[in-house]
Structure 1
Amino acid sequence: MARTSRPTDFRHGTPAERRDLATRAAGLPDGALTAVTGEGGLTPERAETMIENVVGVLGVPLGIATNFIVNDLEVLVPMATEEPSVVAAASHAARIARASGGFHASTSAPVMQAQIQVLDVPDPQAARLRVLAAREELMAAGDAQDPSLVSFGGGVRDIVARTVPTRVGTHLLVHLVVDVRDAMGANAVNTMAEALAPRIAELAGGRPLLRILTNKADQRLARAHAVLDATELGGPRVVRDMVAAGALAEADPYRAATHNKGIMNGITAVALATGNDTRAIEAGAHSHAVGPDGRYGSLSHFEETADGDLAVSLELPMAVGIIGGATKTHPSAGAALQLMGITDAAQLAEVITSVGLAQNVAALRALATEGIQRGHMTLHRRSVASAQSDAS
């Protein structure tokens, strides 16, 4: 059968029936999702290889968001979250968006940066120029730390030097700008930074201190946008109210914090399901929400089109990978990537960003109509009733 993100009767099935439906809808062989059942999934023995002092594993509900079309491709999206209504809300927004072609997404190059901090530099401005004069030498030395990355088309792309005044003096900050290809990239850039720090300190005439990546991945951006039909959303008044709600998030940091948390409900759930670093993604997102004026605002934008429909857009850093880390060691993460049909890190970033935008749309539509608690509390009461039944 052709790949589809809209399997028949998916919502009404049992977990086992949904797994079978998702497997067939994704064109996967029988049993491809066994890892997500707990059978053949993450065991304490395998967890022992991932972190320290392991005593067991913690289960998180894994759902599948349906209806997504991203860049004309049907995508079933795994989402790991404990919060009720998140998966249903994303699926509902994706259903509205698919009527207009779904989500359109793009990414910049998979570039990460590491920072090398140099202290006790007597002439920081001149030191900055000495470092930049050695740019080619430093880039070659960085590439020598990871020949495998270079063989796949990645490697150091630039050396940036900055002077940063602090309350304990002016520090020299040198950035290694590295194309990390399909990895998240933390290990690669940290290794390069540690290797190059002594030479950079020698050039600067100071001593190195911090040698680590920055999670402000502002050169590794993902973008998603869509147009949603006003009638499907509930009419012109709903569109105008959603635009007004979005405008408040742009103007007021108190609203923006909750608005952006709604976006991260979707993004974090997919990142967790695919074994990516949710804390790095969240740190990058919230730092990106701070504008040039230093004020925290909305990551997304809601606008009314000339035809009265709703145009939505989202841009944020998206440092995700499909190789290395938990994406390879956690069996459920591997199954999630297989379900999505992901072929590279850029595609994963585009899907994750589209899900974040869908989650945002669903939340603002609920706020502009019946309120957020109606659907949320229905599912919350179900979980509470289940917990009380288990305790009795």
Structure 2
Amino acid sequence: MPNTISGFSKLSKSQKIEWLLDSYFTEKENARTLVERYWNSDEKLQKLHDEFIENTITNYYLPLGVAPNFLINNTFFAIPMAIEESSVVAAASKAAKFWLERGGFKAKVVSTEKIGQVHFIYKGDFKKLTTFFKHVKPKLMSDTASMTKSMERRGGGILDIELRNKSEDLPNYYQLHATFETMDAMGANFINTCLEQFATTLKSEALQYEDFNDEEKHLSIVMSILSNYVPNCLVRAEVSCKIEDLKSIDIPNPEEFAQKFKQAIDIAKIEPYRAVTHNKGIMNGIDAVVLATGNDFRAVEAGVHAYAAKDGKYTSLTHCSIDNGNFKFWIEIPLALGTVGGLTSIHPLVKFALQMLQKPTAKDLMKIVAVAGLAQNFGAVKSLTTTGIQEGHMKMHLMNILNQFEATDTEKLQLIEHFKTNVVSHSSVVEAIENLRK
């Protein structure tokens, strides 16, 4: 088969690039120049980046922006956001400034419990398995004592282990369902190490358990892995004010705005087609901060969207109430984050981002990230229910279109001025560029 290769991972970086260029590129020199242009000139820093993942050939950059003026629990923050989508940082910044003048954001961590599971197959009497579990549970804890010692010194560790019977859903399927506190670490490696020891202990103890018959002794471990669904690792963020205090240049009628805003949230609660886009906007803010601080945004995304469907129907992550002339807007979401371990201790820009956030604990970061999501959603829904989303978004997107057509600095200045009073669309920008160049 053409363009296949054995031992690719064993090649040097330059050999990998040469194979790639020879196999898939016609303009090889242009491709090579592009790959090399994104290398870091600091060889030590580039080597660090090369070792983050496997088969590295270059770096793929995202802009790192800053949303200032966030007042959270009476402390000011400038929030780092790594994202490629235009208008996200602007919307967060605008929402931060809006609420700064109305008391800022309030946030609190509700709980910090994380979950891991050992999945296994057992063909036998469940009552005997229950008795066996009671017998083996102390051993599960003692066999992981050396692994949990350091975490326990920091106030964390294994909280509990339960036996769960899932055989009605899948024949002979059971779980060890364990809960953990991992303090300032996200804790994936810690949890998985404990779980694998649970599995080893469970299997070896079953072989020696006298009340099991031969088939019961040979229970089968399927896998041991943490869960990214953490419904008991929750944070809440909110804003509130009197309805008349919502009045601003673009909210001349605060009562009408509040009612329309709440209607938009209520629609996202009952209409999944809207809820998905609504929550995507929330994740624009959340993912950008999670990525900037070296956390796993894929894990956060999966857990948050599962939480949005926890009651059997996908719904809005944010909520709004109007009560006795008071407007309140809030979010409660699961966030498993860390400020130690992983990239947080080795990526220079992650360190920079965490310093920008005043070296937060994991709980502090949960609050900041939840606030970023709430701010992003407020900005989006505010635009949707007033001017419409495209007016602001397309003006932010204008620079992307100009760069696509390689506009010069002079052309950019003229076209930005032109579109201050004209509607931005892809076709209108193309037409303006062509007219300017004529």
TM-score, length basis structure 1: 0.85
- What residue number does 1:247 align with? 266
Query: Bigger radius of gyration, 1 or 2?
Result: 2
Q: CA deviation at 1:357?
A: 0.4
The unaligned stretches of length 5 or more in structure 1 are 1-37
Q: Distance in 1 between matches of 2:202 and 2:107?
A: 38
Is the alpha carbon distance of 1:56 and 1:174 closer, same or farther for their aligned partners in structure 2, counting shifts above 3 Å? same
Q: Distance in 2 between matches of 1:220 and 1:42?
A: 37
Q: CA deviation at 1:103?
A: 0.9
1:22-33 paired onto structure 2 within 5 Å: none
The amino acid that maps onto 1:325 is G
1:83-102 paired onto structure 2 within 5 Å: 83-102=85-104
Q: Which segment is superposed worse, 61-70 or 202-211?
A: 202-211
Is the alpha carbon distance of 1:160 and 1:262 closer, same or farther for their aligned partners in structure 2, counting shifts above 3 Å? same
1:262-341 paired onto structure 2 within 5 Å: 262-292=281-311, 294-307=312-325, 309-341=326-358
Q: Does 1:256 align with 2:275?
A: yes
- What residue number does 1:111 align with? 113
Q: Which segment is superposed worse, 347-356 or 229-238?
A: 229-238
- What residue number does 1:236 align with? 255
Q: CA deviation at 1:305?
A: 3.2
Bigger relative contact order, structure 1 or 2 (CA pairs below 8 A, ≥6 apart):
1
Is the alpha carbon distance of 1:126 and 1:372 closer, same or farther for their aligned partners in structure 2, counting shifts above 3 Å? farther
Percent identity for Structure 1 against Structure 2: 35
1:39-118 paired onto structure 2 within 5 Å: 43-118=45-120
Q: CA deviation at 1:151?
A: 1.6
Q: Distance in 2 between matches of 1:81 and 1:105?
A: 24
The amino acid that maps onto 2:372 is V
Q: Distance in 1 between matches of 2:283 and 2:43?
A: 26
1:357 equivalent among 374, 394, 397: 374
Q: Distance in 1 between matches of 2:138 and 2:396?
A: 58
Q: CA deviation at 1:249?
A: 0.8
Q: Distance in 1 between matches of 2:108 and 2:314?
A: 24
The unaligned stretches of length 5 or more in structure 2 are 1-39, 207-215, 409-436
Q: CA deviation at 1:121?
A: 3.2
Please give the per-residue CA displacement for 1:190-234, whole angstroms capped at 9, x wherever unaligned: 000001102224447412111000001112111111114321471
1:226 equivalent among 239, 256, 261: 239
Is the CA contact (8 Å cut-off) linking 1:176 and 1:189 kept in structure 2?
A: no
Is the CA contact (8 Å cut-off) linking 1:163 and 1:172 kept in structure 2?
A: yes
Is the CA contact (8 Å cut-off) linking 1:128 and 1:172 kept in structure 2?
A: no
TM-score, length basis structure 2: 0.76
Q: Distance in 2 between matches of 1:390 and 1:194?
A: 56
The amino acid that maps onto 1:200 is L
Q: Secondary structure at the match of 2:58?
A: coil
Q: Does 1:344 align with 2:357?
A: no
Is the alpha carbon distance of 1:366 and 1:39 closer, same or farther for their aligned partners in structure 2, counting shifts above 3 Å? farther
Is the CA contact (8 Å cut-off) linking 1:142 and 1:156 kept in structure 2?
A: no
Please give the per-residue CA displacement for 1:85-124, whole angstroms capped at 9, x wherever unaligned: 1011011111121222211111134322110001133123
2:189 equivalent among 171, 187, 190: 187
Q: Secondary structure at the match of 1:304?
A: strand
Please give the per-residue CA displacement for 1:236-276, whole angstroms capped at 9, x wherever unaligned: 11111110010011111111111111110000000000110
Q: CA deviation at 1:125?
A: 4.9
Is the alpha carbon distance of 1:128 and 1:259 closer, same or farther for their aligned partners in structure 2, counting shifts above 3 Å? farther
Q: Does 1:211 align with 2:224?
A: yes
The amino acid that maps onto 1:81 is I
Q: Distance in 1 between matches of 2:389 and 2:71?
A: 25
Q: Distance in 2 between matches of 1:41 and 1:277?
A: 26
Is the alpha carbon distance of 1:243 and 1:41 closer, same or farther for their aligned partners in structure 2, counting shifts above 3 Å? farther
- What residue number does 1:384 align with? 401
- Which one has a larger percent helix, Structure 1 or Structure 2? 2
Q: Secondary structure at the match of 1:301?
A: strand
Q: Distance in 1 between matches of 2:133 and 2:332?
A: 33
Give aligned pairs, total. Answer: 353
Q: Secondary structure at the match of 2:405?
A: helix
- What residue number does 1:153 align with? 155
Q: Distance in 2 between matches of 1:225 and 1:265?
A: 18
Is the CA contact (8 Å cut-off) linking 1:44 and 1:54 kept in structure 2?
A: no
The amino acid that maps onto 1:248 is I
Q: Distance in 2 between matches of 1:50 and 1:341?
A: 25
